[in-house]
Structures are given as C-alpha cells and as structure tokens.
Structure 1
Amino acid sequence: MVDFFQELGAGAYQAFRTIIPEPQNRIPISFDAIPSILMSYVPFLFMAFLARQENTYIIRLLLLPTVITASLGTSFRYYWTIPMMNTCNWGSCLSSFVIIGKALEYAFQKKGMLRVDEVRPGQYKGKVIANGSSNGHISPPVGGRSIAPWLTDVVQLTTSMRGVSWKFGQETFVPKETRPLDRGPFVSATIFAMVKNFFIMDTLEFVLKLFPGVGSVFGGSMFYYQLPPISRYAVSTFIHILSGHCLLAGFEAIYHVVTLVAVGIFGDSPSSWPPILDSPWLSESMHELWSKRWHQMLRRTFMVYGGYPGKWIAGDFGMVTGIFIASGLYHELSMYAMGRGLDPAPVIFFALQAPILVIERLWRKITGRRVGGWYGRLWVYFVIFVLAQPMINSWHKRGLAGGLILPPFLSPARLLMPIFLRFMNLSD
C-alpha cells in the first residue's frame, strides 16, 4: 500500500511538472512556438462562446480541464530567454490565472453567463434603468453592426473584468464616470487619459531604473543598508511610491487601450467601460480602499479562487480571508515564471488584510464610529506605504523593475532625457 501511494505521488508530481516544468526545463519562445501558443487560447475562447449558448453546461464542464491545462502549460512551459524580457514571462502567468478563474466561472454557471435582466443568453426581460452609478443598472452594451453577435459576445465576456452589465458583476462597486458618455467625446477623453498615463508610466519606469540594483534585470533590494536608517527608509519609501504609481499608470493605460478597441471597434456602450480607480489616495479606511477606491478588476478572480471556498469553510470571515490569500498567491505564483524562486512576503501582506479589516470593524463596535478622517487616512498610508514595502521589495529583488516595460524606441523619457541633460550641461 505504501508503494502504491508513493507511485501515485510520483506520477502526480511528474504530471504536474509536465504542465509546469522546472525553470531550467522550459521551452524558449521562438517563431516556431508562436502557433502553439496562440492555439492554446482557443479552448478558452470556445468556452466563452459556449457560456453564451443554451444547454451547454455539460460540454463546458468537460472542456474545463483542457482550458486549465492549455493555459498553465503555455504560460509556464514557454519563456523569453532574454533577461530584459523576463517581465513578459510574469505578465503571461498573470493572464493565465485570470483566464483559469474566468473559465471556472463559465463552466460552473448552469445557465451560462447572463447579462443584467437576461433570462437566457440574448433574451431580456423588462427594461434596464440607467443611473450611471450602480453596476446592476448600467445600460447593456450595443454590439457593432458589422460584427457577428456571437463574436461580440465572446469579446465582451472575455474582456469584462468587473462584470459591468453582466449578472456576475452586480455587486461590484463601479466609480462614477467623469468622461462624457457620447461616443465621440468619450473616445477623445479616453485617448487623452491613455496618453497621460502612458507618459506617467514611462517617466516613472525610467526613474526606477536609475536606482542601483532595483533597475537591474537581475534585481536588487530597495533597502540600501549602507545608508543610515532614516535615509535608508526614506529612499525605500520613495522607490515604493514610484513603483506603485508606475504600476497603476500602466494598468490604466492598458485599460484605456482595451476600452478604445471595445467602444470604437466592437461598438460597446461607453457606460460599459467606467473608470477603474476612484482616487485611492483619498481612502480613509482599508475597507474603503479595497471595496471602492482600489480597482476591482480582479474581484471575481479572487472570489472564484478564495472567496467561495473560504465562505464554505468559515462564513463571511472565511470569504474575506480566502479572497486576500488568493490575491497574495496570485501575485506571487505568477512571479515563479521569472525563474527567481518564491517569496512569502506578498502572500503575508495580502493575508494580513483580513485581520486588518476585522480591527476596523472592532473599532466601529467599540467606539461607535467608523475608521475615517485624518487618522483613518494615516492608517491607510501606514498599511500601504510601510507594511507593503517588503512585498514590493521582494519583486524588485527578482528584477521586476529592471525588466522591459516599453521598448526604448517607444519611450519618450529615454529619448528626451539625454537631450534635457545635455541642455542642462550646456547651461552650466
């Protein structure tokens, strides 16, 4: 019996390593590998198509293992060999876990993925009232006239992260729109926001790469221990803030690009693509930050991975704990693709958020007041700018900031900064 379980364990491990090999056994990305990589996304797209068709529940369940295997196998088996491109390996695995989370939801919804007020895919009941603030009342998107309805459904479903206009996103908070909702002005405002965030990301990334170690493709700590403690943590805090703003600006720039494609090409309603952030720096409690002001793009992903299992195990507290543990594992396991090992710091930081939210609830019960005001904002800044530093440092030590974000020829900062420095030297 012992030999049986040993063989079973060895077989399971071998199967696991077939899908997710050791870093040294991965396959370099080449032109010959591109068709295989592209084909690996077909099962997921077919799953999304089936999720918008009636009576496909059993087929979706049967297809699920293929989607999971194809997504994991592609992201973890193939890799960019150039050290500068290591960030692409990280990004590929981030998207892989999102795809699997979506596929799990598509597979286990018996009726398929329905829009708000749909009774069956494509069949509405009643009318939708648009008030512009509640996710459950945003007008359904309008598909492009020249594009097949099934293709429009697949694109809108797979690109929808918060579930705007979909039933699965009715409980997700959506910030109020600040852009005009007429298509032309909306597109113009989105282009302006995209360009602005692009320049912010580019500038901050350029500055980050100036820091020794942090800006290296092989990574380095943002804690410079040769400095006195006050200077050391002042520098690390500065790098930490730059890193956070750079990530958010890049995140928003990509979102704006997808928005332009969805609205401009596939005919989505502008109301289906509201802002993703709501001034997170104004948060007066961690509950406000995570539930409203921070982006909700991965809310469903973390619910599928941790929220639902956690609620089944330990109720509401288990759900919250499960969501944050899932978030930590999502951010950390994706880093495994960079071949620099694993670090518990990200998982610890996100896992801490559950007891932090419990502390805020206890404060309200004891004092009768919510966490808020200037002390609430200081509390948020302490958690984000102090407690989160080990997590950001663990990413920098593995070369995240040193990797390629933008090709040099697309980077205005790299093109203009030498000219600026030359001009300053001439002025002196």
Structure 2
Amino acid sequence: MGQWSILEHRLLEACTIPSPEDRIGLNWNTFLTVLWPASFCYGVMALLVTLPHTRILRTALLPLALAFYFRAGTTLDVTLDLPVSDYTKARLIHYNQGLLMTLFAMTCRTIAWAWPKTPYRRIDHPQSPRSLSRILYDGVDLAFNIRGIDWDWSAGLRLPPQTRTLSSRATFLRETIASALYHGFLLDALLTAIQALGFSSPEGASIFDLTLSPLPRYTRSTALTLLTGLTVWAGLQASYDVCTLVGVGALWQAPARWPPVFDRPWAATSVCAFWGVRWHQVLRDVFTSVGARPLTYGLSRVMGRKWGKTLGLVGAYVISGLLHDAGLWGQGRGHDAPRVVGFFVMSGGVGMLLEITVKRMTGRKVEGPIGWVWTMVWVTGWGHLVTEAWLSRGLAGCILIPEAVRPIPRILRLLYH
C-alpha cells in the first residue's frame, strides 16, 4: 500500500462514525487519550481568543480541535464501564446525550473563536496590564461562561430580572438552595406523571397511542408534550441552581454573575418573547455565531440587509436543532433530524418570522391574551415532534434523580401502602 493510500485510509478511518456498539467506555486511559486532548484544545482556544495577535494560531489550531471533538463524541460511551447492571446503563443514556451536546457546543464556540481580529475583553476589570494569573483566569472563565456575563462579546444578551438577594452572599445561597430543592421536587413530580402514562421503561414508546380514537389520542400526546416541556424547564433550572451554588459558594464568585436563567416562559405573549427572552439564553451566542450570523451575511448580500437579517435568524434554530439531534444520536438509538431540527426551526425560526411579517404588514406587535394563546398553541403543537423523538427513545425512563432520593415515589408509597 502506497503512502497516499495509507493516508487516505487513515483519513477515512478518522471520519468514520462507529456504530453505538463499537464505542469504548470512559476510563482513565480513554480520558487521557480521547477526552483530555479535546478539553485541552478547547481551553487553549479560549485562552488564545483573549490575547492579541493570535488569529493565525487560532486558525491553525481549529482543524485539530474539531478532529479531537469529533473523535471524543463518536468513540466514547460514558456509561459503558460503569459498575452497574445493563438495565441501569440503559437508564443512563442521557449521560451520552449530555456529552454530545457539550462537544457540539464546544465545536461551535471554537469555530467562533477562530476568526475574531480583536481579542475578547472582560468589561468588569481593567485590561492592561494583565498578569499571567489574570490571563489564565480569563481563559478559564471564558471556557465556562457560556452566556458571556461580563464579556464584551455578549452585547445584546437579555437577562431575566434578578429575583434573589445580591447584597448578602449567605442569603443568596439560601435562596438558591431553596430554588434547587423546589425545582428538583417539581422535576420528580413531572417525571413521575410522564412515567405513569406508560413511559417508565428505557425502551421508550410513542406518544401517539393508535389504540385510542383521535380526540383522546391527541389529548394524551398534548399532555405529554406539555409535561415534557415543563420537565426540561425544571431540570435545567435545578441544574443551574446547583452550578450557581458551586460558583458562588465554592468558587466565591459574585452573586451578580449568576443571574436567573429563565423568565417564566409560560407567560410569553409572543414566540419572539418565548424564544428570545423568556426561555434560557445559555447557548444564544453558540447558535448566533455559527448559525444566524453567517446566514445573515449571505442573505444580506442577496436580499438586502433588512430581510437578510430577518431570515438569517433561522440559522440559529438550525444549529439549535442540530445540537439537540446530536445529543439524541449520542444516546445510541439513532437520531431524528426531521423531528428535532424541524421542531426548533418551525417553533422558533418560522414562528418568529411570521410575527415579524405581521408587525411589518400591520404595524402592531403580537402580544396580549391572543398572543399568549397563539404562542402556546404554536410551540406546543410543534413540540409534539421533539417529544416523540425523545420519548420514543426512552428518555423519560432515564434516571434523572437517583431512585434512593426521589421524593414523589416515597410519598406515593406512604399514601397507598
């Protein structure tokens, strides 16, 4: 075999996505040889983008970083080497979902970091001169600061109004603990309700019960869609509360650096308000920098700035859909781009385009009670797509809270036994 044939073989081998059965477990060896190189490249890119005159170096490092992310995402199975039964492993497939979504977000951020001509800048402390420790700290902060709190690149980010006490760290931590417990309880209650409707098995099932007539069938699927959306909200809020406790309690960060993550999404009176303000904006820059901005640039050259910017926002929802579909693939049960990407594009991108068009034609914004009804119907209606994709692959049967500490099953056992 010639040198070019060997090189071609290696490239094809590197780009081949293995089947779920061929993935390898996460242990010390694979951590050091697979996951650590990806994490190291991500950290280096985060550090470099805060330094001047590093654009060429960042551009050169980009292909290597993307290759490491791809290898980690397609070869690792986080649950494979866990000392638990196969049944329990099947109920932990969301670990792999989280890994793939994290690596996808890292990919998007790394691509965005490769091109800026001027370095990213912190706006909460003087820039020069920066000590070595400050440079390293800024790089670490950027790597984990996904929303861009206190960074200049997050201009336009809308943060929910603060609901906790900022003047006292102890009070802030107590309020955050209460929020974590409350939303953890809600998460368990919502998950129990979904599982009671026939989704406790990790094998999954369709939300559309064909043994029922149309009215009860779609009433049931709508209830499951609403419950799933609320479960996602409660789970993310509880997780964010735990991260807040680590940041403020353990790392001694300022409480102001941990603003609320949601702003009552159920109160949105327009699709624009739901996705653009009230739902979490954690990955906003990920989706806009790789999706909306490139598409806006291309369309603006063809259609003009006004419509190019309007239609370009769909790119953000395409990237959002691809991120969630990658997570679905990570579970090892196949992906479902038509449903997952379709949900985000239709419920977010197309819904917002419709509202923008209405405003330009009538001069009136979508809002008020009619806007609320429209928003809930539109988002919930398209929500059937992603709910079917998730629940049919057993996501509701996963262990989101350890069985030993789940409050709702304990309460039910006390009531009925």
- Alignment TM class, shorter chain as reference: 0.7 to 0.9
- Aligned residue number for residue 345 of structure 1: 339
- Say whether 1:382 aligns with 2:381: no
- Structure 2 unaligned spans of 5+: 81-88, 300-307
Query: Does structure 1 conserve the Cα–Cα contact (< 8 Å) formed by 2:311 and 2:353?
Result: no
- Aligned residue number for residue 350 of structure 2: 355
Distance of aligned partners of 1:370 and 1:122 in 2 relative to their CA distance in 1, 3 Å threshold: farther
- Aligned residue number for residue 260 of structure 1: 245
- Aligned residue number for residue 364 of structure 1: 359
Q: Tell me the CA shift for residue 206 of structure 1.
A: 2.6
What pairs up with 1:280-291 in 2 under 5 angstroms? 280-291=265-276
- Aligned residue number for residue 328 of structure 1: 321
With 376-385 and 72-81 compared, the bigger mean Cα shift is at 72-81
- Aligned residue number for residue 209 of structure 1: 195
- Aligned residue number for residue 15 of structure 1: 14
- Aligned residue number for residue 170 of structure 2: 184
SS at match of 2:387: helix
Distance of aligned partners of 1:231 and 1:106 in 2 relative to their CA distance in 1, 3 Å threshold: same
Cα distance in 2 for partners of 1:111, 1:226 equals 61
Query: Does structure 1 conserve the Cα–Cα contact (< 8 Å) formed by 2:34 and 2:71?
Result: no
Distance of aligned partners of 1:10 and 1:381 in 2 relative to their CA distance in 1, 3 Å threshold: farther
Distance of aligned partners of 1:37 and 1:187 in 2 relative to their CA distance in 1, 3 Å threshold: farther
Task: In structure 2, give the amino acid aligned to 1:379.
Answer: W
Q: Tell me the CA shift for residue 34 of structure 1.
A: 3.9
Distance of aligned partners of 1:375 and 1:122 in 2 relative to their CA distance in 1, 3 Å threshold: farther
Query: Does structure 2 conserve the Cα–Cα contact (< 8 Å) formed by 1:52 and 1:121?
Result: no
Distance of aligned partners of 1:227 and 1:155 in 2 relative to their CA distance in 1, 3 Å threshold: same
Q: Tell me the CA shift for residue 55 of structure 1.
A: 3.5
Q: Tell me the CA shift for residue 122 of structure 1.
A: 6.5
Aligned length: 391
Distance of aligned partners of 1:246 and 1:322 in 2 relative to their CA distance in 1, 3 Å threshold: same
Q: Tell me the CA shift for residue 265 of structure 1.
A: 2.8
Distance of aligned partners of 1:175 and 1:121 in 2 relative to their CA distance in 1, 3 Å threshold: farther
Distance of aligned partners of 1:337 and 1:227 in 2 relative to their CA distance in 1, 3 Å threshold: same
* % identical aligned pairs: 29
Q: Tell me the CA shift for residue 37 of structure 1.
A: 5.0
Match of 1:26 among 17, 23, 28: 23
Decide which structure has greater helix share: 2
Distance of aligned partners of 1:38 and 1:359 in 2 relative to their CA distance in 1, 3 Å threshold: closer
Cα distance in 1 for partners of 2:290, 2:314 equals 11
Cα distance in 2 for partners of 1:380, 1:189 equals 31
- Aligned residue number for residue 203 of structure 2: 218
Task: In structure 2, give the amino acid aligned to 1:419.
Answer: L
SS at match of 1:211: helix
Provide Cα deviations, 1:338-361, integer angstroms capped at 9, x if missing partner: 222222112112222333222212
- Say whether 1:166 aligns with 2:147: no
- Aligned residue number for residue 75 of structure 1: 73
Task: In structure 2, give the amino acid aligned to 1:317.
Answer: T
Task: In structure 2, give the amino acid aligned to 1:206.
Answer: T
With 403-412 and 323-332 compared, the bigger mean Cα shift is at 403-412
Q: Tell me the CA shift for residue 366 of structure 1.
A: 3.1
Cα distance in 2 for partners of 1:153, 1:94 equals 24
Cα distance in 2 for partners of 1:151, 1:31 equals 26
- Aligned residue number for residue 97 of structure 1: 104
Cα distance in 1 for partners of 2:238, 2:257 equals 17
SS at match of 1:194: helix
Q: Tell me the CA shift for residue 302 of structure 1.
A: 0.6
- Aligned residue number for residue 110 of structure 1: 117
Provide Cα deviations, 1:213-238, integer angstroms capped at 9, x if missing partner: x3221111111111222211221122
With 49-58 and 165-174 compared, the bigger mean Cα shift is at 49-58
Distance of aligned partners of 1:117 and 1:194 in 2 relative to their CA distance in 1, 3 Å threshold: closer
Cα distance in 2 for partners of 1:179, 1:236 equals 36
- Say whether 1:234 aligns with 2:219: yes
Task: In structure 1, give the amino acid aligned to 2:123.
Answer: V
Query: Does structure 2 conserve the Cα–Cα contact (< 8 Å) formed by 1:283 and 1:293?
Result: yes
Cα distance in 2 for partners of 1:148, 1:415 equals 49
Q: Tell me the CA shift for residue 249 of structure 1.
A: 0.9
Provide Cα deviations, 1:293-350, integer angstroms capped at 9, x if missing partner: 1111111111122112211221213421111111111111221112222221121122
- Aligned residue number for residue 52 of structure 1: 50
- Say whether 1:316 aligns with 2:309: yes
What is the TM-score when the length of structure 2 is the normalising length? 0.86
SS at match of 2:93: helix
- Aligned residue number for residue 83 of structure 2: none
- Say whether 1:277 aligns with 2:284: no
- Aligned residue number for residue 426 of structure 1: none
Task: In structure 2, give the amino acid aligned to 1:229.
Answer: P
SS at match of 2:397: coil
Cα distance in 2 for partners of 1:8, 1:30 equals 29
- Aligned residue number for residue 305 of structure 1: 290
Provide Cα deviations, 1:360-410, integer angstroms capped at 9, x if missing partner: 122223333211111111100111222211221111111111122222123
Cα distance in 2 for partners of 1:399, 1:72 equals 25
Q: Tell me the CA shift for residue 240 of structure 1.
A: 1.2
Query: Does structure 2 conserve the Cα–Cα contact (< 8 Å) formed by 1:106 and 1:112?
Result: no
With 80-89 and 161-170 compared, the bigger mean Cα shift is at 80-89
